[in-house]
Amino acid sequence: MSYGNYTVHDPWWLLALAVIPLVSWLRGRRGVPALVVPFAAAWYRPSLMTFSRLPVGVGVAGLALVILALARPQRVDDKRQVHQQGYDIMLVVDLSGSMLAEDDHRPGEGPNRLQVIKPVIQAFVQNRPSDRIGIVVFSTQAYTLSPLTFDHAWLSRQLDRLEIGVIDADHTAIGDGLGVALTRLEQAGREEGNRRKGAFVVLLTDGSNNSGVLTPPQASAIARARGIPVYTIGAGKDGYTYLPVQDEHGRTITYTQIMSDLDENALNSIAGETGGRFYRARDAGTIQAAFKSIDESQKIEFEAKSYLLTTELFPWFAAPGFFCALLAGLVLAWPTIRRRAVPTRAPFAGGSFPRS
């Protein structure tokens, strides 16, 4: 017997509820009390008739609540237990000066390359709630912007603050950026006991390696030895583009034309040797498509099991039921208890005690 999320485990007890009005009706026709309880004779004294109706009603309500408790009402909820493991992902983002270049529009009329990729990266992060994600930024040197974390809201705030110039932006150290990301993944693997499903790196740059300690081939060899795929994204359009020239306060004073120096062969080699994939992203649409493809290729199929969670509700009926029955019994028995506790004393004739 169920109604929505609620059910009754022993519904046959509910038949006893019908007995209460039936007994009351039968007893009423015979001219005797509807319920046979101790001290029932006291109810029929003229002075107590009105007084006794309330505790009898309370007692009947208590009896009904106890019967409902015996029927064991329950709330049943359908729960899904999901067993899931996620990836450890390091995003490696180029912050060299060329990321200020503005593609596909007149100078000063649209976003630069960094402004184009930030919302795409943020969408990628928010779309993977079960993964730990960290960020490494690089230009002349490589730095950890965020270690691996599940706090994706905090990670998005760090991405919002990314600007060209927060680190030395004169050169591009692709090998070092990848090396720092691999080190972070190795540290996390030791701390977690390799309990994560796996790990991979997404590297985005618009240039070629011209700085740093590690070369891209050396970094990709480390990734291959550790079994970590590296997905590489080459950003920016081919040929000439416009780059703002800024003063010491970061204000744009003019624009100059530069030639794209993206090393597609190096990025393709890194991806191929590590089991990843290379994407050529010339505009916002292709960058978004690249991250979408990576997201789909490195998704985990979760295992989910359904089970029923049962909550017993009988205490909510039993406790007030017993309280009402006890209260009604005490109220009805109180006159008799009081008479027995304080006996009356008959006076002697003549108003005085006999002499001894």
The per-residue pLDDT for 196 is 52
Question: Quick one: 50 and 159 in the same domain?
Answer: no
Q: What is the dihedral of CA 244, 250, 252, 255, to 10 degrees?
A: -20
Helix-strand-coil split of the chain, %, nearest 5: 45, 25, 30
Question: Quick one: 38 and 14 in the same domain?
Answer: yes
Strands 230-235 and 278-281: parallel
The per-residue pLDDT for 3 is 63
Residue 277 lies in a domain: yes
pTM of the model: 0.61
Residue 89 lies in a domain: no
Residue 25 lies in a domain: yes
Residue 352 lies in a domain: no
Residue 209 lies in a domain: yes
Mean pLDDT of 90-115: 86
The per-residue pLDDT for 307 is 58
pLDDT tens sequence across 139-164: 999 999 999 999 999 999 999 988 88
The more confidently predicted of residues 192 and 74 is 74
Which residues, in sequence order, are CB contacts of 319 under 8 Å at separation 6+? none
Question: Quick one: 321 and 174 in the same domain?
Answer: no
Range of the domain at 225: 98-301
Question: Quick one: 181 and 57 in the same domain?
Answer: no
Distance CA 112, CA 170 (A): 17
Task: Work out the mean pLDDT of the chain and round it to a whole number.
Answer: 79
Residue 329 tokens read as: 């019994």
pLDDT tier at 134, thresholds 50, 70, 90: very high
Question: Quick one: 71 and 163 in the same domain?
Answer: no
pLDDT score of 106 more than 80: no
pLDDT tens sequence across 210-234: 999 999 999 999 999 999 999 999 9
Question: Quick one: 292 and 319 in the same domain?
Answer: no
The residue to which tokens 């030395």 are assigned: 168
The more confidently predicted of residues 103 and 174 is 174
The per-residue pLDDT for 318 is 79
Question: Quick one: 232 and 169 in the same domain?
Answer: yes
Residue 87 lies in a domain: no
Question: Quick one: 152 and 131 in the same domain?
Answer: yes
CATH number at residue 180: 3.40.50.410
Total structural domains within the chain: 2
| CA dihedral sign, ordered 219, 224, 228, 231 | positive
Question: Quick one: 159 and 182 in the same domain?
Answer: yes
pLDDT tier at 342, thresholds 50, 70, 90: low
Residue 350 lies in a domain: no
Question: Quick one: 175 and 295 in the same domain?
Answer: yes
